A and B are shown apart, each in its own frame.
Chain A
Amino acid sequence: MNIMLISVVVLGMIGIFSAAILYFAAQKFKVEEDPRIDEIEAVLPGANCGGCGFPGCRGFADACVASLEGKLCPVGGNAVMEKVATILGVEVSLADPMVAVVKCQGSCNNRKKTNSYDGAKSCAIASMLYAGETGCSFGCFGLGDCVEACQFDAIKIGEDGLPIVDDEKCTACGACVKACPKNVIELRKKGPKSRRIYVGCINKDKGAITRKACSVGCIGCMKCQKECTFGAITVENNCAYIDFTKCRLCRKCVAVCPTKAIVEVNFPPRKVVVEQAENKE
Chain B
Amino acid sequence: MKTFKIGGIHPEECKLSAGVAIEKMPLPTQVAIPVAQHIGAPATVVVAKGDKVKVGTLIAQASGFVSANVHSSVSGVVAKVDNELDAFGNRRQVVVIDVEGDEWEEAIDLKGDFKRTFNLTSEEIIERIKNAGIVGLGGATFPTHVKLMPPPGKVAEVLIINAVECEPYLTSDHVLMLEYADEILTGVQLLMRAAKVNRAIIGIENNKKDAIALLQEKVSKLIGIEVCPLKMKYPQGSEKQLIDALIGRQVPSGALPIEVGAIVQNVGTAFAVYEAIVKNKPLVDRIVTVTGKSLATPKNVLARIGTPMSALIAYAGGMPDDTFKIIAGGPMMGRAIVNIEAPIQKGSSGVLLMSERESVRAEMDNCIRCGKCVSVCCMGLQPYLLMSLVEKKMWQEAEQEAVYDCLECGSCSFTCPAHRPLLDYVRYGKATVMKIMRERSVKK
A125 CA to B361 CA, complexed, in Å: 16
A124 CA to B430 CA, complexed, in Å: 12
Q: Which residues of B contact A115 (CB under 8 A)?
A: 338
A132 CA to B339 CA, complexed, in Å: 12
Q: Which residues of A contact B425 (CB under 8 A)?
A: 120, 122, 125
Q: Which residues of A contact B147 (CB under 8 A)?
A: none
A118:B361 contact, CB within 8 angstroms:
yes
Which B residue sits closest to A119, measured CB to CB? B424
A135 CA to B85 CA, complexed, in Å: 10
Task: Tell me, yes or no, whether B360 is within 8 Å of chain A by CB.
Answer: yes
Task: Tell me, yes or no, whether B118 is within 8 Å of chain A by CB.
Answer: no
Q: Which residues of B contact A119 (CB under 8 A)?
A: 361, 421, 424
Q: Which residues of B contact A90 (CB under 8 A)?
A: none
Binary flags per residue of B403-444, CB closer than 8 Å to A gives 1, else 0: 000000000000000000100110110010000000000000
Q: How many residues of B contact A (CB 8 A)?
A: 16
The B191-228 residues at the A interface (CB cut-off 8 A) are: none
A114:B424 contact, CB within 8 angstroms:
no
- A280 vs chain B, min Cβ distance (A): 40
A205 CA to B91 CA, complexed, in Å: 9
Task: Tell me, yes or no, whether A47 is within 8 Å of chain B by CB.
Answer: no
B338:A131 contact, CB within 8 angstroms:
yes
Task: Tell me, yes or no, whether B400 is within 8 Å of chain A by CB.
Answer: no
Assess A125 versus B89: contact at CB under 8 Å? Given A118-B361, A119-B361: no
Q: Which residues of A contact B427 (CB under 8 A)?
A: 125, 128
Task: Tell me, yes or no, whether B372 is within 8 Å of chain A by CB.
Answer: no
Task: Tell me, yes or no, whether A129 is within 8 Å of chain B by CB.
Answer: yes
Q: Which residues of B contact A128 (CB under 8 A)?
A: 427-428, 431
Q: Give the contacting residue for A120; candidates B91, B336, B338, B424; CB below 8 A.
A: B424
A125:B88 contact, CB within 8 angstroms:
no
A122:B428 contact, CB within 8 angstroms:
yes
Q: Which residues of B contact A131 (CB under 8 A)?
A: 88-90, 338
A130:B90 contact, CB within 8 angstroms:
yes
Q: How many residues of A contact B (CB 8 A)?
A: 16
Which A residue sits closest to B391, measured CB to CB? A122
Name A's interface SS: loop
B361:A137 contact, CB within 8 angstroms:
no
The A78-129 residues at the B interface (CB cut-off 8 A) are: 114-115, 118-120, 122, 124-125, 128-129
Q: Which residues of A contact B338 (CB under 8 A)?
A: 114-115, 130-131
A115 CA to B327 CA, complexed, in Å: 13
Binary flags per residue of B325-340, CB closer than 8 Å to A gives 1, else 0: 0000000000111100
Which B residue sits closest to A135, measured CB to CB? B89
A128 CA to B335 CA, complexed, in Å: 11
A135 CA to B89 CA, complexed, in Å: 7
Which B residue sits closest to A124, measured CB to CB? B428
Assess A132 versus B431: contact at CB under 8 Å? Given A114-B338, A118-B361: no
Which B residue sits closest to A117, measured CB to CB? B336
A96 CA to B335 CA, complexed, in Å: 46
A118:B360 contact, CB within 8 angstroms:
yes
Q: Which residues of A contact B336 (CB under 8 A)?
A: 129-130
Q: Which residues of B contact A132 (CB under 8 A)?
A: 89
A125 CA to B90 CA, complexed, in Å: 15
- A212 vs chain B, min Cβ distance (A): 12
- A105 vs chain B, min Cβ distance (A): 19
Q: Which residues of A contact B428 (CB under 8 A)?
A: 120, 122, 124-125, 128
Binary flags per residue of B342-366, CB closer than 8 Å to A gives 1, else 0: 0000000000000000001100000
A179 CA to B64 CA, complexed, in Å: 33
A118 CA to B421 CA, complexed, in Å: 10
The A172-227 residues at the B interface (CB cut-off 8 A) are: 205
The A29-43 residues at the B interface (CB cut-off 8 A) are: none
B421:A130 contact, CB within 8 angstroms:
no
Which B residue sits closest to A132, measured CB to CB? B89
A175 CA to B335 CA, complexed, in Å: 30
A137 CA to B90 CA, complexed, in Å: 6
A120 CA to B424 CA, complexed, in Å: 6
A130:B335 contact, CB within 8 angstroms:
yes
Q: Which residues of A contact B361 (CB under 8 A)?
A: 118-119
A114 CA to B88 CA, complexed, in Å: 12
B91:A137 contact, CB within 8 angstroms:
yes
Q: Which residues of B contact A118 (CB under 8 A)?
A: 360-361
Of B335, B338, B425, chain A has the most CB atoms within 10 Å of the CB of B338
The B285-333 residues at the A interface (CB cut-off 8 A) are: none
A245 CA to B378 CA, complexed, in Å: 55
- A107 vs chain B, min Cβ distance (A): 19
- List of 8 A-B pairs having minimum Cβ-Cβ separation, nearest first: A131-B89, A130-B88, A120-B424, A120-B421, A118-B361, A115-B338, A125-B428, A125-B424
Residues of B within 8 A of A (CB): 88-91, 335-338, 360-361, 421, 424-425, 427-428, 431
| 15 A-B pairs in the complex with CB atoms less than 8 angstroms apart | A119-B424, A120-B424, A122-B424, A122-B425, A125-B427, A128-B427, A129-B336, A130-B88, A130-B90, A130-B336, A130-B337, A137-B89, A137-B90, A137-B91, A205-B91
